[in-house]
Amino acid sequence: MIDLANCRYYYRTLPCLVPSCKAEPTCAAHFPRHRGMGGAKATWAYNETVPLCRLHHDALDARNGAIGETWKEHLRIQRIVECLAPPFWQRIRAQAEAEAEAMHRLAEADEAACER
């Protein structure tokens, strides 16, 4: 079952979010919605992380001190993630809600069976 508050382990089972890559294994890369706001600590919540392979994760994190081609690659990956993250997060939330509903139905069925 997906833990929406801590998706870093679940995201390891998914392919890289970058469409031309789809490499595995991946790791959860911080990409918070409030990036740049300051003061707020990043979490492992589903809507603050995305699955990226090590190459793209490093490119996304390269913003500090990056120059030339490294900076261009950082901007390219950042634009891709900014575009694809919101629909990805919606799919993850919908999947988690469907799993929770299925577990609830199973629990109700078990409870009904015990009452007989």
- For residue 15, the model assigns a pLDDT of 94
Phi-psi category of residue 64: left, alpha or beta, with phi > 0 → left and psi -120 to 50 → alpha:
beta
Q: Tell me which residue has tokens 């490119």.
A: 59
| Cβ atoms within 10 Å of 51's Cβ, excluding its own | 25
Q: What is the pLDDT of residue 95?
A: 87
pTM score over 0.95: no
Give the type of residue at 66.
Answer: A
The pLDDT tens digits for 76-113 are 988 999 899 889 889 988 888 888 888 878 877 777 77
The distance from CA 53 to its chain's CA centroid, rounded to whole angstroms, is: 12
What is the average pLDDT score of the chain? 81
Q: Helix, strand or coil for residue 49?
A: strand
**What span, in angstroms and rounded, lies between the C-alpha atoms of 114 and 116?**
5
The whole-angstrom separation of Cα 2 and Cα 50 is 14
At 63 the pLDDT is 63
